[in-house]
């Protein structure tokens, strides 16, 4: 504990504990988090400053013209080369487009054209990010990101995937690219995006390249990286172990409480390699063979033993998760299923999703798409949504699909099973705007690329990882490589269009079978009244020496992956479960004791999923309104346990009246206007700092999310645990109540400093603000430019590990770091009665009325009508644009 525990400071003065909110100090923890967020966090240096200033001092009329030039034409007629027939684009008052065409080729061309109209700069930045070419646009500040991505070879993998996908998928990708390029060919950079005007004013002299099918495929690597599994946790475990030892590290990684948090699927077993939802025991019905070989069973047993020794980190960090649930007709007011989904992702501008409808005018085998939902700009088709027959939602399954290996490297060789094997080596040139090119040498073992060559923290992990190692030979070094399923080519793009065209459970599962990375929980409902769940994804089977929790010794073959994946037919699945609903919110998919394959031990703790289950059971029969209200539930899961301890500590007058009494009758809800929620969360952050900062390195300070809630929940029952003691006070041994008292006092002082001296003026929203920033020019460091692209100041409720998951990082401050990126509720009884909302808006243009026009509604917990039938789409029409083939 780094702050003295005293009540001497007056409640109306004094600094808060911990780093100031909004501090610009960049720790190594923060730098690593930026790597984890690839490719979201991109920065621009001041090499464009002169051009930016010149641009900003232009006359008012010129300025208005410049910022409005990129806004798309949304009515009238545009000739588009390559079209076979007319494509109709109907937009509603929020700019959400519904695209109609006669052929799949024209439909995909239309989608490409419209997404380029609204968001091409975002598309261009993402393709540069996934190719390791950001420095070409943004200079030396982007070089480190490029080196990282080049080393992993995202684009090289995407190029190989192009040969694996189905001909129809490739045709869709090519047609989509044609639509994008038709838009580019008719517009100058200044007409495409304001960002190009500013960058070129700074001397970049940039013209966008044509879009390609590989650009779309590479985008999926970015999402796979964002949801990749426990690579960060492996590193954090090493750093924590180095600081406090293995036994105390284990205390900070509590095991999943399977008895308290129900898994997604609570019935079924694997029989002869196939998951059967009605089976009560696994194994085989054929005595002449076994379901698994001996070397497949051994790693599963080893992993369970490893769990007992080193319990897992539960989750990847709050915010990077999602909620979804589906209920059958027996549990709804309409008598038909309803499905809800809200993925939790990092925040920024433009938001990750663009709402859109894609409709073949006549459904046929040649043109089977009639779908609407949330799309990725740059990828054809709808990612999450519904068609005329089925609806589906995603949450991150979170399997352990990454492993770090500590390698013994000498020159151009690496050690494996007592032999020196040649490294795979290639050299690439990285171009940098405003600077000389950089030559990058990329090395790889059979496990994967050596990331420590470009990441100094990983190099340190290689030195301190708790492995039994031989004495290094002369010239030998330790390096760290990455094994990751996304670096193996797979036809995930087939799954997207397959889901769009699916008409029933069987065709839905057939499409899901192609969904390799990132592995997702898929919830399902259809107009015939069925609900279901399917777990897809490429999940590796490990050999006996590798438990996936810590970096493994790469020189031992028993730590390798087998080369096989968990078979799709063996992954958990259920159709029409007995209890009539399914909840998938990143909790364990299935009880580990009942399942023979290892998925991960790093599940989310299950606070959100269990709360959703409880509310579904309480309601019994849900309306659309009640489904929407459930998405906004803001009950803090730890507060009912922690608050009695906070109230039990005696404080002197002024502290107990102003702070503690606010918690007396608090219901643990965290709306934006709650004073009690504000005081509780500030106390929580101080409690974490006082308990853990004195012993843990800054890189692994508590973020305050669901894992830390589980840790503290246990520690509260151990008032004399060494964690409560401040190692800096040599003559004192602090206890739980000492820390709680100090946290309450520090929180009262901090509330005075950050909000007001009077509790009646406190609100959670005053601290817990949503600020949306552009990841490129919005991070330029030039205030006038940042104001062009960034929006902020929304005061919101919710918090980490609540259903309304507006996460914040206790090591950094109270501002929102991740949030529901969208919310949707689908009514299978009447698709036109469905609801949706986006965190931002359809447009990527900062001066469009649709840049953040949905954010106010989102922050207020409201949703928009989600019309689907042509009749209702036309009734909601605000603009109609016709894309037509050129005359002659």
Look at residues 555, 763, 734 and name the one whose alpha carbon lies nearest to residue 676.
763
Asked if residue 54 is part of any domain, the answer here is no
Domain check: are 305 and 156 in the same one? no
Angle between helices 194-201 and 60-68 (to 10 degrees): 120
Asked if residue 466 is part of any domain, the answer here is no
pTM above 0.85, yes or no: yes
Domain check: are 363 and 389 in the same one? yes
With H, G, I as helix, E, B as strand and everything else as coil, classify residue 585. coil
Beta bridge partner(s), residue 774: 349
Under 8 Å between Cβ of 317 and 511: no
Q: Residue 237: phi, psi to the nearest 5?
A: -60, -40
Residues 291, 294, 299, 303, CA torsion sign: positive
804 among annotated binding-site residues: no
With H, G, I as helix, E, B as strand and everything else as coil, classify residue 47. helix
Under 8 Å between Cβ of 542 and 526: no
Look at residues 522, 521, 586, 531 and name the one whose alpha carbon lies nearest to residue 332.
531
Q: Which residues contact 323 (CB under 8 A, 6 or more apart)?
A: 340, 341, 342, 344, 395, 585, 608, 609, 612, 631, 803, 805, 820
What pLDDT does 595 receive?
84
Q: Is 470 exposed, middle or buried (0-12, 13-18, 19+ CB in 10 A)?
A: exposed
Domain check: are 572 and 528 in the same one? yes
Domain check: are 240 and 139 in the same one? no
What pLDDT does 8 receive?
41
84 among annotated binding-site residues: no
Integer Cα distance of 852 and 841 in angstroms: 5
Residue whose token pair is 């799309």: 375
Residue whose token pair is 């400093």: 753
Integer Cα distance of 335 and 345 in angstroms: 32
Domain check: are 287 and 315 in the same one? yes
Write the DSSP string, 454-465: T-HHHHHHHHHS
- The domain containing residue 120 runs over which residues? 70-225+876-884
Asked if residue 815 is part of any domain, the answer here is no
Under 8 Å between Cβ of 521 and 584: yes
Domain check: are 299 and 350 in the same one? yes
Beta bridge partner(s), residue 360: 101
| Given the residues 302, 312, 322, 324, the one annotated as active site | 322
Last residue of a domain, one of 762, 795, 830: 762
**Within 13 Å, how many C-alpha atoms sit on residue 775's CB side?**
24
Domain check: are 239 and 258 in the same one? yes
Domain check: are 643 and 590 in the same one? no
Greatest C-alpha distance within the chain: 91
- Using omega within 30 degrees of 0 as the cis cutoff, is the peptide bond preceding 518 cis? yes
When computed from its CA atoms, the radius of gyration of the chain, rounded to whole angstroms, is 27
Last residue of a domain, one of 762, 780, 795: 762
Integer Cα distance of 700 and 233 in angstroms: 10
Under 8 Å between Cβ of 401 and 546: no
- Using omega within 30 degrees of 0 as the cis cutoff, is the peptide bond preceding 39 cis? yes
**Between the CA atoms of 836, 840, 842 and 845, what dihedral angle is there, to the nearest 10 degrees?**
170
Integer Cα distance of 105 and 366 in angstroms: 10
The neighbour count for residue 174, using CB atoms within 10 Å, is 18
Domain check: are 237 and 267 in the same one? yes
Last residue of a domain, one of 743, 762, 781: 762
Distances (CA, A) of 625 to 96, 293, 621, 665, 796: 23, 51, 11, 28, 20
Which tokens in the block code for residue 716?
């509260």
Distances (CA, A) of 249 to 313, 399, 604: 10, 22, 18
Q: Which residues contact 474 (CB under 8 A, 6 or more apart)?
A: none
List of long-range contacts for 287-293, beta carbons under 8 Å, 24+ apart: 291/596, 292/596
Q: Is 452 a catalytic residue?
A: no
List of long-range contacts for 186-192, beta carbons under 8 Å, 24+ apart: 190/66, 190/69, 190/70, 191/69, 191/70, 192/70, 192/116, 192/120, 192/121
- Using omega within 30 degrees of 0 as the cis cutoff, is the peptide bond preceding 350 cis? yes
Asked if residue 797 is part of any domain, the answer here is no
Domain check: are 85 and 217 in the same one? yes
Which tokens in the block code for residue 645?
């301890």
Under 8 Å between Cβ of 261 and 713: no
Asked if residue 814 is part of any domain, the answer here is no
Look at residues 840, 755, 754 and name the one whose alpha carbon lies nearest to residue 791.
840
Domain check: are 610 and 750 in the same one? no
Domain check: are 248 and 271 in the same one? yes
Asked if residue 847 is part of any domain, the answer here is no
Asked if residue 772 is part of any domain, the answer here is no
Integer Cα distance of 387 and 370 in angstroms: 6
Write the DSSP string, 211-259: P-HHHHHHHHHHHHHHT--SHHHHHHHHHHHHHH-HHHHHHTSPPP-TT
Asked if residue 600 is part of any domain, the answer here is yes
Give pLDDT < 70 ranges for the chain. 1-63, 228-230, 271-276, 278-320, 456-470, 654, 656-657, 888
Integer Cα distance of 180 and 173 in angstroms: 11
CATH number for the domain spanning 557: value is 3.60.20.10
Q: Which residues contact 580 (CB under 8 A, 6 or more apart)?
A: 327, 328, 330, 331, 531
403 among annotated binding-site residues: yes
Integer Cα distance of 348 and 244 in angstroms: 36
CATH number for the domain spanning 210: value is 1.10.439.10
Assign 3-state DSSP to the chain and report helix, strand, coil percentages, each to 5.
35, 20, 45
Under 8 Å between Cβ of 500 and 358: yes
Under 8 Å between Cβ of 558 and 569: no
**What is the number of domains present in the chain?**
3
């Amino acid at each position: 504990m780094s702050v003295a525990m005293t009540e001497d400071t007056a409640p109306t003065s004094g600094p808060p504990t911990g780093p100031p909110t909004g501090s610009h100090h960049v720790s190594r923890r923060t730098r690593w988090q930026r790597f984890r967020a690839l490719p979201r966090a991109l920065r621009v240096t001041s090499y464009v400053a002169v051009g930016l200033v010149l641009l900003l001092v232009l006359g008012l009329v010129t300025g208005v013209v410049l910022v409005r030039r990129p806004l798309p034409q949304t009515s009238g007629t545009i000739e588009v080369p390559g079209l076979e027939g007319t494509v109709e684009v109907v937009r509603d008052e929020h700019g959400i487009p519904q695209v109609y065409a006669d052929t799949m080729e024209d439909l995909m061309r239309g989608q490409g054209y419209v997404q380029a109209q609204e968001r091409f700069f975002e598309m261009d930045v993402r393709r540069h990010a996934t190719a390791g070419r950001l420095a070409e646009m943004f200079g030396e500040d982007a070089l480190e990101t490029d080196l990282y991505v080049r080393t992993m070879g995202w684009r090289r993998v995407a190029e190989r995937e192009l040969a694996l996908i189905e001909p129809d998928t490739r045709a869709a990708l090519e047609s989509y690219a044609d639509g994008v390029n038709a838009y580019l060919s008719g517009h100058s950079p200044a007409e495409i995006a304001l960002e190009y005007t500013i960058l070129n004013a700074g001397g970049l002299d940039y013209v966008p390249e044509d879009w390609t099918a590989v650009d779309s495929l590479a985008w999926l690597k970015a999402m796979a990286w964002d949801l990749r599994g426990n690579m960060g946790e492996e590193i954090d475990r090493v750093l924590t172990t180095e600081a406090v030892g293995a036994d105390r590290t284990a205390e900070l990684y509590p095991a999943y409480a399977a008895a308290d948090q129900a898994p997604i699927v609570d019935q079924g077993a694997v029989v002869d390699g196939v998951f059967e939802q009605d089976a009560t025991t696994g194994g085989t019905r054929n005595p002449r063979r076994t379901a698994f070989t001996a070397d497949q069973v051994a790693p599963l047993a080893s992993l369970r033993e490893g769990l007992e020794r080193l319990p897992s980190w539960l989750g990847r960090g709050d915010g990077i998760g999602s909620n979804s649930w589906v209920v059958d007709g027996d549990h709804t007011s309409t008598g038909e299923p309803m499905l809800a989904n809200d993925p939790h992702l990092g925040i920024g501008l433009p938001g990750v999703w663009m709402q859109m409808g894609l409709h073949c005018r006549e459904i046929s085998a040649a043109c089977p798409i009639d779908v609407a939902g949330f799309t990725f700009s740059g990828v054809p088709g709808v990612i999450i949504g519904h068609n005329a027959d089925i609806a589906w939602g995603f949450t991150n399954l979170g399997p352990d699909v990454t492993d770090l290996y500590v390698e013994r490297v000498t020159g151009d060789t690496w050690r494996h099973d007592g032999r020196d094997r040649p490294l795979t080596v290639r050299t690439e040139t990285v171009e940098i705007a405003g600077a000389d090119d950089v030559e990058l040498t990329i090395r790889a073992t059979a496990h994967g690329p050596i990331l420590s060559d470009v990441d100094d923290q990983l190099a340190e992990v290689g030195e301190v990882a708790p492995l039994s190692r031989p004495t290094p030979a002369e010239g030998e070094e330790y390096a760290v490589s990455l094994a990751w399923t996304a670096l193996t080519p797979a036809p995930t793009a087939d799954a997207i269009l397959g889901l769009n065209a699916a008409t029933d459970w069987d065709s839905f599962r057939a499409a899901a079978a192609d969904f390799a990375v990132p592995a997702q929980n898929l919830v399902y409902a259809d107009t015939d009244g069925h609900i279901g769940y399917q777990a897809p994804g490429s999940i590796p089977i490990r050999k006996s020496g590798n438990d996936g929790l810590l970096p493994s010794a790469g020189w031992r073959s028993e730590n390798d992956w087998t080369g096989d994946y968990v078979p799709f037919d063996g992954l958990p699945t259920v159709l029409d479960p007995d209890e009539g609903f399914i909840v998938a919110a990143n909790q364990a998919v299935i009880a580990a004791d009942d399942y023979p394959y290892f998925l991960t031990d790093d599940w989310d703790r299950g606070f959100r999923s269990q709360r959703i289950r409880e509310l579904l059971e309480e309601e019994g029969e849900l309306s659309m309104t009640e489904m929407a209200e459930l998405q906004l539930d803001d009950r803090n899961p730890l507060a009912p346990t922690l608050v009695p301890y906070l109230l039990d500590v005696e404080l002197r007058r002024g502290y107990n009246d102003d702070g503690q009494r606010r918690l007396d009758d608090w219901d643990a809800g965290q709306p934006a206007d709650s004073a009690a929620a504000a005081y509780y969360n500030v106390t929580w952050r101080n409690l974490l700092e006082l308990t853990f900062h004195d012993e843990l390195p800054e890189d692994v300070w508590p973020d305050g999310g669901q894992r830390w809630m589980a840790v503290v929940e246990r520690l509260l029952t151990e008032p004399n645990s060494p964690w409560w003691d401040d190692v800096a006070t040599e003559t004192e041994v602090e206890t739980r109540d000492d820390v709680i008292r100090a946290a309450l006092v520090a929180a009262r002082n901090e509330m005075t400093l950050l909000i007001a001296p009077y509790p009646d003026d406190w609100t959670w929203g005053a601290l817990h603000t949503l600020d949306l920033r552009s990841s490129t020019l919005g991070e330029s460091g030039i205030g006038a430019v940042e104001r062009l692209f960034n929006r902020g100041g929304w005061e919101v409720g919710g918090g980490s590990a609540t259903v309304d998951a507006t996460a914040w990082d206790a090591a950094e401050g109270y501002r929102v770091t991740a949030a529901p990126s969208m919310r949707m509720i689908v009514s299978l009884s009447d698709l036109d009665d469905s609801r949706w909302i986006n965190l931002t808006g359809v447009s990527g243009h900062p001066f469009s009325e649709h840049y953040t026009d949905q954010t106010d509604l989102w922050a207020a917990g409201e949703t928009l009508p989600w019309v689907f039938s042509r009749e209702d789409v036309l009734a909601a029409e605000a603009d109609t644009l016709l894309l037509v083939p050129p005359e002659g």
